[in-house]
Amino acid sequence: MRLRALAAARLSERARFALSQGATLREAEAELTNPDSPSRNAIVARMIYPGLTIFYGVSGVGKTFIILGTATHIAFGHPIGEIPVRRGQVIYIAAEDEWGVRMRAVAAARALGVNFDEAPFVIIPPPCLVQDPGFADAIIEISEGFTAQSGEPTVLVVVDTIGGAYGAASANDDATLSGVASSLLRIARILNCSTIAVHHVGKDPSRGMLGSIVLRNRADTVIKLERGPDRLTVRGTIDKQRNGPEGAKLTFRLQPCQIDENSSLSSLVLTDLEIAASDMPLQQAQPLGLRPLPPDPWTVLKVLVGLTETITSTTVSEWRKQTVDHWDGRSPSAIRTAWSNAIKILKQRGLIVTDGDIVSVSDLSVARQLLASVHSSGHAAKSSGAQITASSNPPEQVNNPGNLTQHLDTNAPKLRSSNPNRSEGGES
């Protein structure tokens, strides 16, 4: 039976929506084997696909010049250098310096020598905070209105920058960044387009994006931008590509452009893009959160996975209570310190999402891989009653998370579950 046909039945609105977006195995196969399927076609070949893409870099590296240039090429269907693009409607949400974004967009379009009257390109302010539930609905409604006028489907929605779009909320708040990701992923799913989030680095650029790692974990593609050998060259690296190879090297080339001969207004415009294949060994292209955990965070995560595999979330108080039950023999002070440090590490890794007293695992597949690995000390360790045993060749396996064959000792005590319908212990 076709799911979309079933969606026409008398079902709730949420059920109809889920079915309208789903597919049977046969429908999924037909979509994947159809070369004209929008979900198969890249927006920018080998770089941007339908889904959530994050570009991040230090202030002044040229993020807006590059994204505006890319967006303009997409709107007019012009390849960037020799890299083909998919033409379509572009919605550019200027959450910072809207006047500057307009100026740079005009410069980028003039550099292409195109007819502005034919441009399926619109620049708007955010309709509300990006993490608000109504944000995605507003953008989808705007997209449908412009598509009705231009006849062009929306292929790209840009939010520049994320920091300007989520308001006064903290970049370290997991719930806020999870809401941001949910809004942008919903837009991408409903419109079958790419959403680009422009983001900053943290105080220490070597540690990646600003704030909670939840945004990175939920993104489909993450691209880091860095200054090149001169002010007109920007280097990029594909840090993450959910369904493709990682580590590809990008070179963006810019050139100055005078916006108005009668004024001093000028900008930089994107003129070329080169994409070199990754020279990174496949086993090194690993998710950031897959580094082995120390013993206490490992135990705390193990308890949470056991509590939430069937009910998705639990309370922090119940989680802490069950964890403390496995820390027999420790003083109250030692327990407080261990708990605090473990939570800090799990949040920094983006492994958990908290909202008040509610907590859940951000990615169960990542959590299971971590729980199957030895502790970061690289040797057998005992933590709160759970015995971890390394396999015969731990150094190679620790350095290669794609080959995690370490296992839990079958004699380790089982974790309790507050859910009577679950067997004790759950998966490891």
Higher pLDDT, 348 or 284: 348
Where does the pLDDT of residue 408 fall: very low under 50, low under 70, confident under 90, or very high at 90 and above? very low
3-state secondary structure the chain: CCHHHHCCCCCCHHHHHHHHHCCCHHHHHHHHHCCCCCCCCCCECCCECCEEEEEEECCCCCHHHHHHHHHHHHHHCCCECCECECCCEEEEEECCCHHHHHHHHHHHHHHHCCCHHHCCEEEECCCCCCCCHHHHHHHHHHHHHHHHHHCCCEEEEEEECHHHHCCCCCCCCHHHHHHHHHHHHHHHHHHCCEEEEEEEECCCHHHCECCCCHHHHHCCEEEEEEECCCCCEEEEEEEEECCCCCCCEEEEEEEEEECCCCCCCEEEEEEEEEEECCCCCHHHCCCHHHCCCCHHHHHHHHHHHHHHCCCCCEEHHHHHHHHHHCCCCCCHHHHHHHHHHHHHHHHHCCCEEEECCEEEECCHHHHHHHHCCCCCCCCCEEECCEEEECCCCHHHHHHCHHHCCCEECCCCCCCCCCCCCCCCCCCC
- Give the per-residue pLDDT at 222: 96
Q: Is residue 235 scored above 80 in pLDDT?
A: yes
- In the chain, the percentage of residues whose pLDDT exceeds 90 is 46
For 51, 138, 179, 230, 330, the CA distances from 130, given in Å and listed in that order, are 16, 10, 8, 35, 44
- Give the per-residue pLDDT at 345: 84
Q: Is residue 405 scored above 60 in pLDDT?
A: no
Q: Which of 37-41, 86-90, 113-117, 347-351 is predicted least confidently?
A: 37-41
The mean pLDDT of 354-382, rounded to a whole number, is 68
Cα–Cα distance, 299 to 78 (Å, whole number): 53
Cα 208 → chain centroid = 13
The mean pLDDT of 29-39, rounded to a whole number, is 68
- Give the per-residue pLDDT at 291: 67
Higher pLDDT, 417 or 313: 313
CB within 8 Å of 326: residues ≥ 6 apart: 299, 303, 384, 385, 386, 413, 415
- Give the per-residue pLDDT at 70: 97
* Most confident by average pLDDT, 163-167, 343-347, 408-412: 163-167
CB within 8 Å of 137: residues ≥ 6 apart: none
- Average pLDDT value for the chain: 80
Higher pLDDT, 244 or 164: 164
Higher pLDDT, 368 or 58: 58
Q: Is residue 158 scored above 90 in pLDDT?
A: yes
- Give the per-residue pLDDT at 294: 85
- Give the per-residue pLDDT at 109: 92
- Give the per-residue pLDDT at 346: 85
For residues 173-183, one letter each, b for 16 or more C-beta atoms within 10 angstroms of the residue's C-beta and e for the rest, the string is bbbbbbbbbbb
Q: Is residue 356 scored above 60 in pLDDT?
A: yes
Cis peptide before 33 (omega within 30 of 0): no
At 91-128, the pLDDT tens digits run: 999 999 999 999 999 999 999 988 888 889 999 999 99
Cα–Cα distance, 416 to 422 (Å, whole number): 10
Q: Is residue 394 scored above 70 in pLDDT?
A: no
The mean pLDDT of 156-174, rounded to a whole number, is 94
- Give the per-residue pLDDT at 208: 86
Q: Is residue 151 scored above 50 in pLDDT?
A: yes
Q: Is residue 382 scored above 80 in pLDDT?
A: no
The mean pLDDT of 10-27, rounded to a whole number, is 79
Residue among 351, 413, 404 at smallest CA distance from 382? 413
Q: Are 73 and 252 in contact (CB under 8 A)?
A: no
Q: Which of 214-223, 342-351, 367-376 is predicted least confidently?
A: 367-376
Structural domains present in the chain: 1-33 (no CATH), 38-284 (3.40.50.300), 289-408 (1.10.10.10)
The mean pLDDT of 42-59, rounded to a whole number, is 94
- What tokens does 82 get? 């020799």
- What type of residue sits at position 323? T
- Give the per-residue pLDDT at 13: 78
Other CB atoms within 10 A of residue 256 CB: 11
Q: What is the model's pTM? A: 0.64
At 289-337, the pLDDT tens digits run: 556 788 888 899 999 998 887 777 888 888 999 999 888 888 888 888 8
- In the chain, the percentage of residues whose pLDDT exceeds 70 is 79
